[in-house]
């Protein structure tokens, strides 16, 4: 008996082969893909222009969902944050939909937990529990309403480039006209900085936006914030980013999380400006969202503006990212951590 496969991992050639094997008409491939991505159905019974016999045969070979939505929160600014439990329910990840007037952005996870262990982030506090498969990544976007999603950012839980094969295959589905039809420029991969993987991504045929989670302008401070920084000096990472720009023509986004009294001083701003002059880039300043049990604090608005002005005066293209979802466990991994803690408490009672 054939093992069921995830419908959201199938490419047209895979559906075509299955359609032929099941004795279905060739045009059924287009029908199936349309039902999945344009209409967003999550079961074969909804595919009313396909015969009941063929729908039953398809359901024996493919499935649509591995997740169970255990929590959904909607912030006052309409940001939606979902917590999915996968398979047996012991593994959970977060997905966020961030709406603005002009776009709806899906922020997706690529791993369960995170192996990087950034000292300011809740995602890695409970360790790393594996990679997400292609279907699990696409499932997050579908669950947010794929037909209305305009942008996708791999900025959820996990290090995307440490799950390179699944992430790039998911990008193909997100970008494909038969899939989610999201333009390459509207797909962003955020990485802590893995030089060899960045160079590999530079050769990938879909030129997505690359965002580097820098968060410090020198190696000494960066190692304190990001344990993986010990493996890759900033100089090596920026060289790899330079190769990415040369290969794709896409300007690099440097993400810089501002932590009060840690990396938000004028000294760090001037150091960061010097780094920016070595690379075609823009800077996204992010105000820290506090996490329970982590001591870092959110900087004052005046300090954030001073940091921005120092960069601007040095000729750097810099923006302050709007904080979204502050009233619904905004920090990455915080909702998951709260849920996991409650589960543990329930088991002990």
What are the tens digits of pLDDT across the range 86-105? 998 889 999 999 999 999 99
Flag whether pLDDT at 161 surpasses 90. Answer: yes
Residue 332 known to be catalytic:
yes
C-alpha 307, offset from chain centre:
27
187-235 pLDDT, tens per residue? 999 999 999 999 999 999 999 999 999 999 999 999 999 999 999 999 9
Listed range (208-212, 277-281, 293-297) with the worst mean pLDDT = 293-297
What was the pLDDT predicted at 342?
54
Check 114, 118, 241, 332 and give the catalytic one.
Answer: 332
The tokens for 328 are 């619904």
* Domain encompassing residue 55: 5-63
Contact residues for 263 (Cβ-Cβ < 8 A; gap 6+): 215, 216, 217, 221, 225, 256, 257
Q: State whether 25 and 111 are in the same domain.
A: no
CATH at residue 12: 1.10.150.530
Residue 21 known to be catalytic:
no
Percent residues over pLDDT 90 in the chain: 84
Question: Would you call 185 helix, strand, or coil by DSSP?
Answer: helix
Name the burial class of residue 32, with classes exposed (0-12), middle (13-18) and buried (19+) by CB atoms within 10 angstroms of its CB: buried
Q: State whether 116 and 178 are in the same domain.
A: yes
Which of 15, 43, 63 represents a domain boundary (last residue)?
63
The β-bridge relationship of strands 111-113 and 128-131 is: antiparallel
Flag whether pLDDT at 314 surpasses 50. Answer: yes
Mean pLDDT of the chain: 92
Q: State whether 86 and 228 are in the same domain.
A: yes
Q: Rounded CA gap, 3 and 167, in Å? A: 23
Q: State whether 179 and 273 are in the same domain.
A: yes
Check 94, 139, 159, 255 and give the catalytic one.
Answer: 94
The tokens for 77 are 């600014």
Which of 42, 63, 84 represents a domain boundary (last residue)?
63
């Amino acid at each position: 008996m054939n093992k069921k496969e995830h419908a959201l991992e199938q490419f047209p050639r895979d559906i075509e082969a299955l359609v032929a094997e099941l004795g279905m008409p060739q045009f059924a491939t287009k029908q199936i893909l349309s039902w999945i991505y344009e209409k967003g159905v999550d079961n074969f019974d909804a595919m009313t222009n396909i015969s009941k016999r063929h729908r039953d045969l398809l359901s024996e070979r493919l499935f649509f969902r591995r997740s169970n939505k255990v929590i959904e929160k909607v912030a006052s600014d309409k940001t939606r944050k979902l917590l999915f439990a996968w398979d047996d329910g012991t593994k959970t990840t977060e997905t966020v939909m961030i709406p603005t007037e002009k776009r709806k952005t899906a922020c997706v996870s690529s791993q369960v937990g995170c192996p990087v262990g950034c000292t300011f982030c809740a995602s890695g506090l409970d360790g790393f529990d594996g990679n997400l498969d292609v279907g699990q990544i696409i499932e997050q976007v579908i669950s947010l309403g794929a037909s209305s999603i305009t942008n996708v950012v791999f900025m959820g839980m996990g290090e995307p480039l440490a799950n390179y094969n699944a992430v790039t295959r998911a990008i193909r589905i997100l970008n494909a006209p038969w899939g989610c039809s999201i333009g390459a420029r509207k797909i962003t991969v955020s990485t802590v900085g893995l030089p060899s993987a960045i160079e590999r991504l530079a050769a990938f045929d879909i030129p997505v936006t690359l965002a580097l989670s820098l968060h410090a302008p020198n190696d000494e401070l960066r190692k304190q914030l990001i344990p993986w920084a010990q493996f890759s000096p900033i100089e090596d990472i920026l060289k790899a980013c330079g190769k990415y720009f040369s290969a794709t023509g896409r300007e690099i986004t440097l993400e810089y999380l501002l932590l009060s009294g840690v990396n938000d001083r004028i000294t760090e701003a001037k150091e960061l400006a010097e780094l920016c002059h070595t690379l075609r880039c823009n800077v996204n300043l992010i105000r820290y969202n506090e996490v329970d049990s982590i001591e870092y604090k959110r900087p004052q608005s005046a300090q954030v503006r001073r940091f921005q002005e120092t960069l601007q005066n040095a000729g750097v293209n810099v923006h302050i990212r709007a904080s979204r979802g502050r009233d619904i466990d905004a920090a990455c991994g915080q909702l998951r951590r709260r849920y996991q803690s409650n589960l543990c408490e329930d088991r002990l009672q």
